[in-house]
Amino acid sequence: MGDNLALHDDETQFRLLAESLPHLVWITLPDGHHRYFNRKWYEFTGLRRDPEAGPEDWLQVVHPEDQEAAKARWDRALSAGKPYEIEHRIRGVDGRYRWFLGRAQPMRGDDGAILRWFGTCTDIDAQKRAEDALRRLDKQHRIALEAAELGTWDQGIASGVISWDERSCDIIGIEVHGIRSLPTEEMLHRIHEEDQPRVREMMAAALDPRSDGRYDVEYRIFAPKDGSLRWLHLRGQTFFTGEGANRRAVRMSGVLRDVTQRRTAAEAQQLLTRELNHRVKNLFAIASGMVSMTARTAATPKEMAEALRGRLGALSRAHELVRPAMMPEHGGQATTIDQLARAILAPYGEAGADGRIVVSGSKIAIGANTTTSLALVLHEFATNAAKYGSLSAEDGRLTITCDDDEYMMYLTWTESGGPPVPTDRGPEGFGSQLARKSITGQLGGTLEHHWRPEGLVIHMALPLDRLAL
């Protein structure tokens, strides 16, 4: 009897309080039958007071997509006698749904038995819509970053720690899920030593309280995963606190992009421009040599013109092979090592067993990139041989042999019968630098020169898997 009187008094006080609250308030019996809804409930839902309402009549105003979860959660709370909490949508009198946070606590008697459940529904619609808008904005932000191939980073000035999102970690080459953080100094030490002073200088400038805080820098870094060298472009903004003499940097945030491909393309463009200038000079030298050689062997001007026209035509065909094999002129088909060598050397004499130029060995197919790179290398060797080596002498000979094993192709260039090889050859010229860079860099091989008294011998070793590219 005492419990019932106390319960009645508590319930009366609760109802008085409930009618003044902005929440939807309700009371149920221990079995879940609703005993009371406050005025706000009826005003919001538009339902009429119905003493005969069943235990689940309240579900009719819950959004159809939320009803199953709400009922299951309420049933578990009733069964376990534990507090109830859930977020779901409730239909208003205007027919529109709003998000509410539903909570209920059991009130127990002295013997521990549940006497009543007291519950509230708090309007959280504005909060949920703000969260949804934030999620949509974050998703759009992620999509924009992915489309632009950008990662994000954040640097705490006081903590001395820099953090990256998962995409930035992928760009840098760090295997990680989520966010990865490192001390700023440790990250700076991973930057290429030639770029570190410039990066530190630009970072210090961006952190200067007198600056606008903008940070924009490109540098090289060795990827921890595979040791590859990558170019990164970082843009950021420093955030300051305080004013005047008290202004100081607190953090720096920005975006990160892998610009290795662009930097490589720019370097290749510069190299191509230098190569073009060099090639024009060589063309004049070759043409001059052809004229001199043809003049020595031709009996008549007509014979000289015909021979010269044929050699210039061969030179033109050789330069066509410098174009990538996917060009229409080649029908999309790759050439072979021996075809390339014969085309490049055709202006200097016929390549055959009885000629001054002999090409023999494996007939290995090569792809477009290899055709371009190797044609430039062979052309450079041939030009030097025509200027200073065996092809500059009437009795000079050139032998090119090609062998291969399971992994490598070996090409040997052997000159004989040319002028004496000078002991003092001076510094390596641009053409030789170009050849070396093409073999060791673009083709991933090795290049060795052996200056023997009887003539130059060049050994090249190239990975077979790179030749098909």
Per-residue pLDDT tens digits for 366-380: 876 677 678 778 877
Write out pLDDT tens, residues 73-124: 999 999 999 999 999 999 999 999 999 999 999 999 888 899 999 999 999 9
- Pick the residue with more confidence: 31 or 425? 31
**For residue 185, what are its two tokens?**
């100094």
Structural tokens at position 273: 């421009």
Work out the number of other CB atoms within 10 angstroms of the CB of residue 201: 11
The contacts of residue 373 (CB under 8 Å, 6+ apart) are: 438, 439, 442, 443
Q: What is the mean pLDDT of residues 159-163?
A: 88
pTM of the model: 0.42
Decide: helix, strand or coil at residue 429: coil
Instruction: List the structure tokens of 202.
Output: 């630009």
* Amino acid identity, position 110: D
Two structure tokens written together for 301: 């001007």
260/70 Cα distance (integer angstroms): 53
| Distance, first Cα to last Cα, the chain | 93
pLDDT computed for residue 163 by the predictor: 87
Rg, the chain, Cα only:
41
444 residue type, one letter: G
Asked whether 340 and 378 are in contact (CB, 8 A), the reply is: yes
pLDDT at 468 over 80: no
pLDDT at 176 (0 to 100): 65
> Each residue of 316-326: pLDDT tens digit?
655 565 454 44
Cα dist. 2→11, 114, 427 in Å? Answer: 14, 15, 109
Q: Which residue has the higher pLDDT, 50 or 218?
A: 218
Angle between helices 260-297 and 368-387 (to 10 degrees): 40
Task: Tokens for 283, please give them.
Answer: 């063309």
- Residues 340 and 375: their CA atoms lie apart, in Å, by 7
pLDDT at 373: 75
**Confidence band (pLDDT; 50, 70, 90) for 311?**
low
Contacts of 213 (CB under 8 A, 6+ apart): 206, 207, 237, 238, 239, 240, 249, 252
Q: Which residue has the higher pLDDT, 132 or 86?
A: 86
Name 181's bridge partners. 163
| AA letter at 109 | G
Q: Please, which pLDDT band fits residue 342 given cuts at 50, 70 and 90?
A: confident
Q: What is the pLDDT of residue 332?
A: 47
- Are 13 and 107 in contact by the 8 Å Cβ rule? The answer is no
CA–CA distance, 223 with 169 (Å, rounded to integer)? 10
Judge whether 180 and 157 are in contact, CB under 8 Å. Answer: no
Instruction: Give the closest residue to 3 by CA, choosing from 160, 155, 110.
Output: 110
pLDDT in tens, 382-410: 878 888 888 888 888 999 999 988 888 99
